[in-house]
Amino acid sequence: MLTSGDVVWRTDSNYRQGSPNLSGTIFAQVNDLLLESPNLNSTHLFRADILFDSSGHLKTALEKEKAFVVRTNGTTHGTVGDVEETTNPLPQHAAAPVIDGAILKRSVLRRLIPRNAQLDPPLEQWCYLYDLSPASTITGHIVVYVPQVESENAMPWYHPTIKAMAYLYETTEAGPSLSIHFLSFTPDAEVPLRLHRTFISLLQTFLRLAKGPTPDTKPINGQVEDGQGFSLAPSAIKDTILPQHTVQDTYSRLKQKYAPDLISRWVEQTEPSKHVFEDVSIAAFLIELWRQMYETPSDFPGFIDVACGNGVLSYILIQEGYPGRGFDARRRKTWEVLGMDDHLDEMICVPQPFISALKSDIADFLPQARVHNGLFQPNTFIISNHADELTPWTPLLATLSSPNSPLPFLAIPCCSHALSGAKHRYQPKDSHPKTDSKINGAEEQPATGDLKALRAAKLKAANHSDDKSMYACLTRKVVSITEEIGMQAEVTLMRIPSTRNIGIVGNRRSVATRGRKESQSKSENPTDPATVAEKVVARECTMSGGISAAAQTWIERAQKLQTGAGRGKVNLGGKTVHD
């Protein structure tokens, strides 16, 4: 039981549960996780922005932005959104609740950010952390949440209508336990059913998180050492390149601005909201990435959206003032609806190494098609979003387009293909030549054939914790190729409604420095990057019978598009920004 002088905090036996495995350390870890991620408790919330932490453990939005800029450039300068030096004075707030038998150790002020700002306003909330007094026979900790509202009616929908709530972790002779306590606006009022269910859900979520494994260590800025030695688990690659709050704020703005109109004008056979929200999310990520990479908007050199599909992503970016073009092998009805005919092209991309390997002119093979060789203007940013056949080609085309200064890119892998364009499943050993025999061994089968084992295997593949899944192997392969030809590769979890949600960013840091000289932008690889890329192409085409045979396979697949034997959405298209 918690008391504050004459005030007794309310609770119930349903809001208390023994937890033998819960320790003080785990309680603190879960508490910090929930302080920044209230969305784990409520789907109505995006996140919480930390405004102040007396311990300095949780970083404010400003501190996070500064940290990302410093990691990128080695200085606090060099992005559109330069972060100014500021101090964080102690915010004014009412006195922390006095809990009998407890000592206040830490104060945190956070702002809860709703998913739909048009329906619910943000809410500031003080969070106080206490240790139970050493003089007590019971040891433990308390965290108290106090929403900053003037009345019960001012409480947003997503927050329980209570004055304060507390988690109490205590260890007695009976063992550790966790309980929820609260102060209501009307002390003796019956607890509404919705509030009762909320408390039970909060308790169960806390205990469930306490059972979870320690999150995988994040690579700094998403950068990986090689194509094999990094984790693709969501906890390891989430928010590794950009701060969560900047991307989500931009996403909310773009969603409000574009989503209703795009959905209302949807003419494709596919379900609109999923595709629109996915493209809005990717656009938000790219806009924030480019703000970080380029000093001013006028410095942005333009983008090329390979395999652009319906063109929605290109449309949003162009509407936001970023010049560029998109292309695909097949024209979409959406192009005309969005007025994108001047920005999108129906073309077939045949990579230059394949064109060079053909024994006759490319027009002899594809007489009715516009063909592009996949070489783009220097500095162009390549977008390769679920580009299928062009996915493993993305870092290669980035290098072949500008060997001395490879093009930056964002690749989001989807279906797995060899360089020939044929469907191909890569193996763990394909992503790095130096791996141990266990990793390179045959793929292990589930220990049993029951449904539980099969569900576990499917879950591992969905959350990318299975390093032998087709998607994980494809992602590692693209990273491996990127690094092998001398480019920087970074991985991050894209916040998009798709299980194919890992982004690979190439060569970001090479263009993210203010006032860089041309000589500084050139590759430091002593070997000619174009030569390295050509060797990689030759090696990877061996599985298809060599470059000539791989080129023939690519051409045959492209010819099927002209005869109507294609496979729905086919991603073999291209046009450069400068054509």
For CA atoms 396, 399, 403, 404, give the dihedral sign: negative
Question: Per-residue DSSP letters for 180-195?
Answer: EEEE-SSTTSPPPHHH
- What contacts 541, CB < 8 A, 6 or more positions away? 419, 420, 547, 549, 550
End-to-end CA distance of the chain: 73
Instruction: Tally Cβ neighbours within 10 Å of residue 88.
Output: 13
Per-residue pLDDT, 253 = 95
Per-residue pLDDT, 82 = 45
Per-residue pLDDT, 492 = 94
Helices (H), 294-392: 312-319, 333-337, 352-357, 362-365
Instruction: Tally Cβ neighbours within 10 Å of residue 91.
Output: 11
- Average pLDDT across the chain, whole number: 84
Per-residue pLDDT, 121 = 93
Q: Say how far apart CA 401 and CA 409 lie, in whole Å.
A: 12
Per the CB < 8 A criterion, the answer to whether 349 and 573 are in contact is yes
**Amino acid identity at 132:** L
CA-wise closest residue to 101 among 27, 29, 168:
168
Angle, helix 61-73 to helix 244-264, in steps of 10 degrees? 100
Q: Say how far apart CA 131 and CA 511 lie, in whole Å.
A: 48
For residue 28, what are its two tokens?
């603190």
Share of the chain above pLDDT 90, in %: 63
Instruction: Tally Cβ neighbours within 10 Å of residue 17.
Output: 16
Q: Are strands 123-132 and 102-114 parallel, antiparallel or unpaired?
A: antiparallel
Per-residue pLDDT, 563 = 66
Domain coordinates of the chain in residue numbers?
3-54+90-211, 220-435+462-513+542-562
Per-residue pLDDT, 247 = 95
For residue 115, what are its two tokens?
């998913």
Q: How far is CA 55 from the centre of its chain?
A: 28
Per-residue pLDDT, 84 = 45
Per-residue pLDDT, 232 = 78
Per-residue pLDDT, 300 = 95
Per the CB < 8 A criterion, the answer to whether 134 and 153 are in contact is no
Q: Say how far apart CA 533 and CA 507 lie, in whole Å.
A: 15
CATH class of 3-54+90-211: alpha beta
The list of the chain residues with pLDDT below 70 reads 69-94, 213-230, 432-466, 512-526, 562-579
Q: Say how far apart CA 126 and CA 257 lie, in whole Å.
A: 32
Q: How far is CA 47 from the centre of its chain?
A: 14
List 558's β-bridge partners, or say none: none
Q: How far is CA 355 from the centre of its chain?
A: 36
Q: Tell me how long the chain is.
A: 579
Per-residue pLDDT, 189 = 87
